[in-house]
């Protein structure tokens, strides 16, 4: 294995752990808080009503947690990365429309009530995660995929 | 061959999902999650105090009234060593006006008189706790404290005020609160005035001081 390949593998591994870690953290922090709190943040994007927002608030933290874990452990790495990419694109659309409509969003809901950045900062953060997903999706170093020898 | 490999991966995925779900649910039950912020008018004492107390209370509950007196005395004695955060947990299935009382107290808080209004609510709870119709006493107490009653009424009916109370209730549910008053003292649960008093007696040891 030459140096360049080695660098790519390590970069991929770090990217996988970083994106997976962010999703696990985000999922856990929200799953440990009342769903109503996150539902209110979802409502403030003015895309869906209070009822569906509450259902989304029950489901999304767990989906984030599971997707993050699968990516971090390298289980079905490409599919997990693709799924997380789809979620990030969806989050970007939500943030983008809120920004264009000048909605008064006090908490983006990204990491529960523990802290909230401005919409612009969250948008850029998600963009960075999307970029990191490219090497993450190709990473096989220390992954379950590699251990099992699956080509997924 | 590929099917067998994918099967092993799927099994691993299920195991990971199962373990993570169990861990989060357990952490929830053990109250390891963060507490959501409390409005300034319901927060007392310095932020970095050695003793951090979260109190889940219902204004119509007699035990909460007794515990509130214990807490007031405790705050007087330990003052700067305690940070107290007050959270609403109205037991609406047995106290029909608790929710209203909680919202009105927050609206009094917005006008700078949460503590005074809360004390009057506790003191008069027998007069309104089980009333058939909305008690006029809520307004009388506001006027007694020279609060802007029409403003308080508008505030208490606003979605923001109702949401604040409901979020506290949801947080209480998540942390397994099912009786009032419930306290979380440095993360450890105490239910009722007796357990609170037990914990208070240990504050000297906790602070490593002799008073």
**pLDDT tens figures, A21-47:** 999 999 998 898 878 778 888 888 889
At B168 the three-state DSSP class reads helix
Q: Say what the ipTM of the complex is.
A: 0.83
CA B4 to the chain's CA centroid: 52
- What whole-number distance in Å separates Cα of residue B198 and Cα of residue B180? 17
Element (H, E) at B149: helix B149-156
| Res. A1 pLDDT band, cuts 50 70 90 | low
Question: Average pLDDT over chain B, rounded to whole?
Answer: 89
Higher pLDDT, A106 or B193: B193
Q: Would the CB atoms of A75 and B12 count as touching at under 8 Å?
A: yes
B58-82 pLDDT, tens digit per residue, is 999 998 999 999 898 988 888 789 9
Q: How far, in Å, are A1, B44, B60, B203, B208 from residue B197 at the CA level? A: 67, 19, 21, 10, 18
At B51 the three-state DSSP class reads strand
A5 domain residue, yes or no: no
A22 domain residue, yes or no: yes
Task: Give φ, ψ of A140 to 5 degrees.
Answer: -125, -10
Q: How far, in Å, are B75, B165, B170, B201 from residue B159 at the CA level? A: 32, 10, 16, 41
A44 domain residue, yes or no: yes
Domain count, chain A: 1
Higher pLDDT, B41 or B205: B41
- What whole-number distance in Å separates Cα of residue A47 and Cα of residue B50? 43
DSSP state of B42: G
Q: pLDDT at residue A59 above 90?
A: yes
Q: Which position has the token pair 């909605």?
A: A103
Closest A-chain CA to B171 = A34
Closest A-chain CA to B169 = A34
- Looking at CA atoms only, how far is residue B117 from chain A in angstroms? 27
Q: Would the CB atoms of B170 and A34 count as touching at under 8 Å?
A: yes
- What whole-number distance in Å separates Cα of residue B139 and Cα of residue B22? 48
Whether the Cβ atoms of residue A25 and residue A72 lie closer than 8 Å to each other: no
Beta strand pairing status for B51-57 and B82-88?
A: parallel
A3 domain residue, yes or no: no
Length of chain A: 152
Q: pLDDT at residue A89 above 50?
A: yes
A118 domain residue, yes or no: yes
Closest A-chain CA to B170 = A34
- Looking at CA atoms only, how far is residue A113 from chain B in angstroms? 6
DSSP state of B182: E
A64 sits in the region (left: phi over 0; alpha: psi -120 to 50; else beta) called: alpha
**The tokens of B203 are what?**
């504050």
Closest B-chain CA to A77 = B9
A1 domain residue, yes or no: no
A90-138 pLDDT, tens digit per residue, is 999 999 998 888 887 767 778 875 556 778 888 899 999 999 999 999 8
Q: How far, in Å, are A114, B39, B44, B197 from residue B36 at the CA level? A: 7, 10, 16, 25
Residue of B8, B16, B174 lying closest to A34 (CB–CB): B174
Which domain does A142 fall in, by range?
13-146
Decide if A63 touches B, using CB distance below 8 A.
Answer: no
| Res. B1 pLDDT band, cuts 50 70 90 | low
Q: Where are the domains of chain B?
A: 1-30, 40-207
Q: pLDDT at residue A74 above 90?
A: yes
Instruction: Name the CATH topology of B40-207.
Output: Glutaredoxin (3.40.30)
A151 domain residue, yes or no: no
pLDDT at B210: 45
pLDDT at B85: 95
Q: pLDDT at residue B97 above 90?
A: yes
Contacts of B37 in chain A (CB under 8 A): 113
Q: pLDDT at residue B151 above 80?
A: yes
Q: Would the CB atoms of B20 and A65 count as touching at under 8 Å?
A: yes
Query: What percentage of chain B carries pLDDT values higher than 70?
Result: 98
Q: Would the CB atoms of A32 and B24 count as touching at under 8 Å?
A: yes
Contacts of B27 in chain A (CB under 8 A): 32
**The tokens of A146 are what?**
């590699």
Contacts of B173 in chain A (CB under 8 A): 34
Closest A-chain CA to B29 = A32
pLDDT at B101: 96
pLDDT at A49: 85
Contacts of B158 in chain A (CB under 8 A): none
- What whole-number distance in Å separates Cα of residue B7 and Cα of residue A146? 14
């Amino acid at each position: 294995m030459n140096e360049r390949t080695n660098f790519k593998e390590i970069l991929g591994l770090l990217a996988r752990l970083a994106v997976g870690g962010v999703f696990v953290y985000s999922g856990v922090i929200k799953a440990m808080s009342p769903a109503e709190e996150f539902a209110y943040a979802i409502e403030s994007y003015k895309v869906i009503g209070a009822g569906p927002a509450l259902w989304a608030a029950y489901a999304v933290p767990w989906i984030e947690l599971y997707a993050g874990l699968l990516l971090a452990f390298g289980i079905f790495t490409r599919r997990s990365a693709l799924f997380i990419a789809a979620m990030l694109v969806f989050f970007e659309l939500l943030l983008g429309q809120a920004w264009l409509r000048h909605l008064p969003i006090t908490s983006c809901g990204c990491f529960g009530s523990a802290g909230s950045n401005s919409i612009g900062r969250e948008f850029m953060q998600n963009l960075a995660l999307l970029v990191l997903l490219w090497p993450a999706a190709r990473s096989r170093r220390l992954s379950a995929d590699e251990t099992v020898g699956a080509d997924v | 061959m590929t099917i067998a490999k994918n099967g092993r991966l799927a099994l691993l995925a299920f195991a990971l999902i199962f373990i993570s779900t169990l861990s989060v649910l357990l952490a929830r039950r053990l109250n390891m999650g963060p507490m959501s912020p409390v409005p300034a008018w319901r927060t007392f004492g310095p932020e970095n105090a050695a003793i951090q107390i979260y109190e889940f209370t219902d204004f119509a509950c007699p035990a909460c009234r007794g515990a509130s007196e214990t807490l007031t005395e405790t705050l007087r004695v330990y003052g700067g060593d305690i940070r107290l955060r007050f959270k609403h947990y109205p037991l609406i299935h047995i106290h029909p006006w608790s929710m209203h009382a909680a919202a009105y107290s927050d609206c009094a808080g917005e006008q700078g008189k949460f503590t005074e209004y809360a004390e009057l609510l506790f003191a008069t709870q027998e007069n309104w706790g089980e009333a058939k119709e909305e008690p006029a006493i809520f307004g009388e107490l506001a006027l007694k404290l020279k609060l802007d009653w029409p403003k308080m009424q508008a505030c208490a009916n606003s979605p923001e005020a109702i949401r604040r109370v409901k979020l506290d209730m949801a947080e209480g549910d998540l942390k397994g609160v099912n009786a009032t008053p419930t306290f979380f003292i440095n993360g450890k649960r105490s239910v009722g005035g007796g357990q609170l008093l037990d914990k208070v007696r240990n504050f000297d040891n906790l602070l490593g001081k002799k008073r």
